[in-house]
Structure 1
Amino acid sequence: MADNIARVFADAIATDPTRPLLTWYDDASGDRTELSGATLANWVAKTANLLVDEVGLAPGTPAGVLLPAHWQTAAVLLGCWSAKLTVIDTPGEVDVLFAAADRIDEAQSWSADERYALGLAPLALPLRQVPPGFADYVVEVRRHGDHFTPQPGPGPADAPLLARAEARAAELGIEAGARVLIDADRYPDPVDWLLAPLTRAATVVLCANLDPTRLATRRTTEKATHTLP
C-alpha cells in the first residue's frame, strides 16, 4: 500500500474513475447523492487548491474539522490530507477551520485564521445565511481548479492514520473491491467510513439517519456486498 493518503485515494479510483465511489443517503431528508471517483477527486482537488493557493497553508499546518460523516466531509478531509495538513477534531489553535452550520457555537472555542461553514445541504446548495466570521465552503471551493498535484511522500499524520485504517479494515471485514454499506451514525470516525474502505479500494454507501426498514432494499439496490456489523 502507498505511504500517503493522497496516493491511497488516487490508487482506489485509478481502475475505474467513473464507478460510484461514495453514495450518500440521509433518510431524514430523503437526500441521495452519488459521487464517482472522478467527481470526488474534483472536489478534493478544489479543496486542496483552496487551502494551498488561497489560504497559503504549508504541509503540517493544523486544520480543524467539525463535521459529521458526509460526502462533503470526505472532500474536506481528503483535500486537507492532499495538502499534507494535520487534521484535528478537538478544540485548539488551527490555521483553518471547517465547521457544520449546526456546530458554529462549538466552533467559537477554536482559534482559527480562516473559517469555512458547511450547510451540508442536498445538491451542495449554498447556505441561506452565512455565519459571521465564516465563508461558505461550497461557494468558495467552486472557484478553484479541478486538478491538484500533492507533494510527494506522506504528510505528518499519514502513517498513523493509514495504520489505523488498515487495522480497522481487517477488523470490520472489508475486502478488496467490496461495496460497503455503513451506518454513518454508528460509525462516525472517518477512519472507519472513509479511510478503511479506501485502503481496500472499496466503494461506500454511507447512510445517515438510517431507516432500518429500508436496509434490505438498499443493500439490493446499491449492490452492497458488505454491511458493517
Structure 2
Amino acid sequence: MLTPALRRRVAASGARPLITHYDGTADTRTELSATTFANWVDKTANLIADLGHDDGEPIDVVLAATHPGHWVSLVWIAAAWQRGCPVNTTDTGADLIVVGPGDDRRAALSVACSLHPLGRGFEVPPADAVDYVEVFAQPDVHDSSVWAQEDLLDGEALAPVVARDTRLLFTAPNPGADWLLDALVAPVEGEGSSVIAVGYEPERLIAVATAEHATLEE
C-alpha cells in the first residue's frame, strides 16, 4: 500500500526529492520532497472528506488520464487511496470527479485543477466545480481511513513493485498502473526519485537529465 510506504519514506528521508515535474510548454519546474508530497496528499485527503465524499467510494480522477505525468495527478491518486477510495482514470459516473483545465466533465461533486506549478487556482474560478486551490485551507493532519486496505486503479489492485533508490527521468507517460508503479510507488518504497518532463524535444531532455543528475528511463 502506498499510504504506509509514504509515511515510512517521509520518516526515513523526507527532505530528499521525490517528484520533480518539468513542463516544457510552460517552461516550469516544480520539485516536491517526500515530505512536501505527503503534505499535499494529506491536505487533499482532508479535502475529499470535507467535500462529503465517503471513504471507500470510487473517485474518477480523469486528470490522471489527460495529464498522467503531472504532480497534481499523482497527489490525487495517493490521496484517494489514503481515503480508501478506488481510483478510476475514466469517467465512470462516480460521485466525485477530478478534472484538469478545459475539461467540462462533471459529477455530483466536481473538482477542477488549474495545474499551476505552485498549486494556485484559476484566474476565473469554474462556476460548477470546486477550485482545487481550496486545498490550501485544509489542515496538514494525516488522516488515513480504515477503508485504506488495498490500492485499486481502474478496478485492479496494484501489483507488487521493487523498491527503487535511483533518480530516473520519465517522458511522455501513459496512464495506468505500470506508469504509477515505476514513477511513484517504486521510489516511495525506496529512497529514489522521479523527474517527469513533458513537452520537451529529445535534445532538451538530455540537458534536463544532466541538470537533474537523472538517468533517462528506457
TM-score (norm 2): 0.86
Aligned equivalent of 1:172: none
The structure in which a higher percent of residues are helix is: 1
Deviations 1:191-224 (A, max 9, x none): 2432344344421101111221122222221111
CA contact (8 A) 2:18 2:187 kept: no
CA contact (8 A) 1:62 1:88 kept: yes
CA contact (8 A) 1:13 1:37 kept: yes
Q: How many residues align?
A: 209
TM-score (norm 1): 0.82
RMSD value, Cα: 2.2
Question: What one-letter code is carried by the residue in structure 2 that aligns with 1:61?
Answer: E
Is 1:195 aligned to residue 190 of structure 2?
no
Aligned equivalent of 1:177: 165
- 1:44-193 to structure 2, matched below 5 A, reads 44-52=41-49, 54-67=50-63, 68=67, 69-104=69-104, 107-108=105-106, 112-138=107-133, 140-151=134-145, 154-155=149-150, 157=152, 160-163=156-159, 166=161, 176-183=164-171, 185-189=172-176, 190-191=179-180, 192-193=182-183
Report the Cα offset of residue 155 of structure 1.
Answer: 3.5
Deviations 1:133-182 (A, max 9, x none): 111002x111111121313551362895431x62xx6xxxxx62111110
CA contact (8 A) 1:115 1:134 kept: yes
CA contact (8 A) 2:91 2:97 kept: no
Deviations 1:64-123 (A, max 9, x none): 11211211112111111111111112222212111001222xx14xxx221110110232
Sequence identity (%): 29
CA–CA distance in 1 between the matches of 2:97 and 2:128?
11
CA–CA distance in 2 between the matches of 1:156 and 1:113?
23
Aligned equivalent of 1:43: 40
Q: Can you give the 5+ residue segments of structure 2 that lack an aligned partner in the other structure?
A: none
CA–CA distance in 2 between the matches of 1:74 and 1:186?
12
CA–CA distance in 1 between the matches of 2:15 and 2:187?
17
3-state SS of 2:137 partner: coil
CA–CA distance in 1 between the matches of 2:138 and 2:53?
15
Q: Can you give the 5+ residue segments of structure 1 that lack an aligned partner in the other structure?
A: 170-174
Over 4 Å off, 4+ runs:
none
Question: What one-letter code is carried by the residue in structure 1 that aligns with 2:149?
Answer: P
